[in-house]
């Protein structure tokens, strides 16, 4: 039996689609009557404190989210394998966000918007894409999709990951030892890391100060589409005010929804979106998890299992 335990999304709609895709395999929701001992799979998003109570016969925890940082902190998370969502549609949506914000900062949107407001005719020519470097932190599913879409635009691409990567057209850096070298040649920094103890707070003042400063006239830019826990918002506000950063695009925040009294709302070179960079699509989500559930029931290994010791 599959149990759905979803918060902040239309659980009824997902349940209906799963029931159709998996029939005659039984699918239940939190509000239905069922014996917890019969549940073999639980499909979760933002699980409540009691989500896993009595689920003693689980074969897998299926995560609607690609990121599992919050799930891994659940105090009653069972010992079953966790499968995260890996999906072309999700990757495409994330890359749409990344490409939009990279090109916006590359073409100095902040500067020309200010000029327009001031009715100022100032013919500053931005560097060509090939003279502008985009450094992506995190070269997993989403990072690799992003570089595949930025490459045809001609940007000078670099990546930073935990283990070394050899990706055509991308200068790779790995580990703490190469972090400074990675930053020192980066004009636009994109964060697509998972949130782990090692990556918490990585978008801070020291990091910003190490970015390349002589290419983009307004200063280097950052784009965070991963998790709010990666960023120090007081450092971002200060760096945007004193010119350490020329601009920031933030889709995620230390506290979500972003509190009304956050200074970030008012900062003109800070581009805020409400954690919408990429959503898990119901149709492709149901297809992916139904297929893997059926395959697992037929004896196949689970794909995209989270490594709990690494935290992603």
Cα–Cα dist 285/46, whole Å: 16
Q: Which stretch binds ligand NDP (CB under 6 A): 30-38, 44-52, 159-167, 261-269?
A: 159-167
- Taking the least distance from each CB to ligand OXD, the nearer of 161 and 280 is 280
Q: Per rule CB under 6 A, is residue 199 in the interface with ligand NDP?
A: yes
**x/- track of binding to ligand NDP for residues 111-150 (CB under 6 A):** ---------------------------xxxxxx-------
CB 178 within 8 A of CB 203: no
Q: State the nearest-atom distance from the C-beta of 250 to ligand OXD, in Å.
A: 13
Q: How far is the CB of 277 from ligand OXD (least distance, A)?
A: 8
Provide the binding-site residues for ligand OXD, judged by CB under 6 A.
65-67, 280
Which residue number, 219 or 229, has a Cβ lying nearer to ligand NDP?
229
Q: Choose among ligand NDP, ligand OXD, none what residue 143 binds, the Cβ cut-off being 5 to 8 Å by kind.
A: ligand NDP
Chain centroid to CA 307: 17
Under 8 Å between Cβ of 148 and 88: no
* Closest to ligand NDP by CB, 30 or 196: 196
Closest CB 22 distance from ligand NDP, rounded Å? 25
Site for ligand NDP in 258-277 (CB under 6 A): 275, 277
212 annotated active-site: no
If the CB atoms of residues 173 and 288 are measured against ligand OXD, the closer one turns out to be 288
Q: Which is nearer to ligand OXD, 24 or 257 (CB)?
A: 257
Site size toward ligand NDP (CB under 6 A) is 29
Handedness of CA 160, 308, 292, 225 (dihedral sign): negative
Calpha distance 107→126 (Å, rounded)? 6
Nearer to ligand OXD, 135 or 228 (CB): 228
Which one of the listed residues 107, 205, 275, 287 is annotated catalytic?
Answer: 275
**Structure tokens that stand for 157 in this block:** 């691409």
Of 227, 230, 232, 296, which one is the catalytic site residue?
A: 227
Write out the binding residues for ligand NDP, residues 43-72 only, by CB under 6 A: 66-67
Alpha carbon distance, N-terminus to C-terminus of the chain = 26
Tokens of 269: 């070179």
As measured in angstroms, the least distance from the Cβ of 163 to ligand OXD is 21
275 is catalytic: yes
Minimum distance of ligand NDP from residue 176's CB (angstroms)? 7
Q: What are the residue numbers of the active site?
A: 227, 275
Chain contacts with ligand NDP (rule: CB under 6 A): 66-67, 94, 138-143, 160-163, 192-196, 198-199, 225-227, 251-252, 275, 277-278, 312
């Amino acid at each position: 039996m599959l149990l759905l335990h979803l918060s902040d999304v239309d659980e009824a709609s997902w349940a209906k689609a799963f029931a159709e895709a998996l029939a005659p395999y039984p699918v239940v929701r939190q509000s239905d009557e069922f014996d917890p001992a019969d549940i073999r799979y639980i499909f979760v998003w933002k699980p409540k404190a009691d989500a896993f109570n009595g689920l003693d016969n689980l074969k897998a925890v299926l995560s609607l989210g690609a990121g599992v940082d919050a799930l891994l902190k659940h105090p009653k998370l069972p010992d079953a394998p966790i499968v995260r969502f890996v999906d072309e549609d999700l990757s495409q949506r994330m890359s749409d966000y990344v490409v939009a914000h990279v090109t916006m900062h590359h073409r100095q949107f902040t500067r020309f918007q200010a000029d327009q407001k001031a009715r100022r005719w100032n013919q500053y020519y931005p560097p060509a894409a090939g003279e502008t470097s985009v450094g992506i932190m995190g070269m997993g599913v989403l990072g690799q999709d992003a570089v595949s879409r930025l490459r045809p635009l001609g940007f000078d691409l670099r990546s930073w990951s935990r283990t070394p990567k050899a990706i055509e057209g991308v200068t790779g850096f790995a580990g703490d030892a190469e972090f400074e070298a990675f930053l020192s040649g980066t004009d636009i920094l994109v964060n697509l890391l998972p949130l782990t103890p090692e990556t918490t707070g990585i978008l801070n003042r020291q990091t910003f100060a190490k970015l390349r400063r002589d290419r983009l006239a307004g200063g280097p830019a950052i784009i965070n589409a991963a998790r709010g826990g990666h960023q120090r918002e007081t450092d971002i506000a200060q760096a945007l005010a004193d010119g350490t950063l020329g601009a920031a695009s933030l889709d995620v925040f230390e506290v979500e929804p972003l509190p009304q009294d956050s200074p970030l709302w008012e900062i003109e070179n800070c581009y805020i979106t409400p954690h919408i960079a990429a959503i898990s699509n119901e149709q492709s989500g149901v297809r992916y998890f139904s297929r893997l559930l059926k395959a697992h029931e037929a004896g196949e290994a689970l794909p995209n299992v989270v490594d709990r010791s690494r935290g992603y």
